[in-house]
Structure 1
Amino acid sequence: YADLKVGVTPSVNLEWIQKIHRDSAERGHEVEAVTDTILRRMYDYVNFITPQFARTDINFQRVPVVDTSHPFMARDIPSPDESLVVIRVARPQNWDLDFSYYLERLHGSWMSRQNVIVVPGGKMGMAMEMIMLDMLSTLGIIQHTRR
Structure 2
Amino acid sequence: MTTQHPVVAITGSSGAGTTSVMRTFEQIFRREKVNAAFVEGDSFHRYDRMGMKEQMEKALACGDHTFSHFGPEANLFEELESLFREYGETGGGRVRRYLHDEGEAAPYRQEPGTFTPWEDLATGTDLLFYEGLHGAVVTDGVDVARHADLLIGVVPVINLEWTQKLHRDKAKRGYSTEAVTETILRRMHDYVTYMCPQFSRTHVNFQRVPVVDTSNPFIARTIPAPDESMLVIRFKDPQGIDFPYLLSMLHDSFMSRPNTIVCPGGKMDLAMQLIFTPMLWRLLERRPRTP
Fold shared by both chains (TM-score > 0.5): yes
Matches within 5 A, 1:36-115: 36-93=182-239, 96-115=240-259
- 1:141 and 2:284 correspond: yes
1:128 to 258, 261, 272: 272
**8 Å contact from structure 1 (residues 58, 89) kept in 2:** yes
Secondary structure of 2:224's counterpart equals: coil
Return the letter of the residue paired with 1:16.
Answer: W
Q: CA deviation at 1:91?
A: 1.4
Tell me the residue number matched to 1:15: 161
Rounded to whole Å, the distance in 2 between the matches of 1:85 and 1:47 is 25
**8 Å contact from structure 1 (residues 97, 134) kept in 2:** no
Deviations 1:66-117 (A, max 9, x none): 0001111111100000011100001112xx2210111011001000000000
Return the letter of the residue paired with 1:131.
Answer: I
Q: Which of 1 and 2 has greater Rg?
A: 2
Q: CA deviation at 1:134?
A: 2.7
TM-score by length of 1: 0.90
Query: What are structure 2's unaligned runs of at least 5 residues?
Result: 1-146, 287-291
Tell me the residue number matched to 1:6: 152
**8 Å contact from structure 1 (residues 97, 135) kept in 2:** no
Q: CA deviation at 1:136?
A: 2.7
Q: CA deviation at 1:23?
A: 1.2
Q: CA deviation at 1:121?
A: 0.6
Rounded to whole Å, the distance in 2 between the matches of 1:27 and 1:129 is 31
Return the letter of the residue paired with 2:271.
Answer: A
Rounded to whole Å, the distance in 2 between the matches of 1:5 and 1:26 is 28
Matched-pair identity in %: 61
Q: What is the alpha-carbon root mean square deviation over aligned residues?
A: 1.4
TM-score by length of 2: 0.47
Rounded to whole Å, the distance in 2 between the matches of 1:90 and 1:76 is 33
Secondary structure of 1:141's counterpart equals: helix
Query: What are structure 1's unaligned runs of at least 5 residues?
Result: none
Q: CA deviation at 1:33?
A: 1.0
How many residues align? The count is 140
Rounded to whole Å, the distance in 2 between the matches of 1:130 and 1:100 is 12
Q: CA deviation at 1:142?
A: 4.9
Rounded to whole Å, the distance in 1 between the matches of 2:285 and 2:151 is 16
Q: CA deviation at 1:140?
A: 4.0
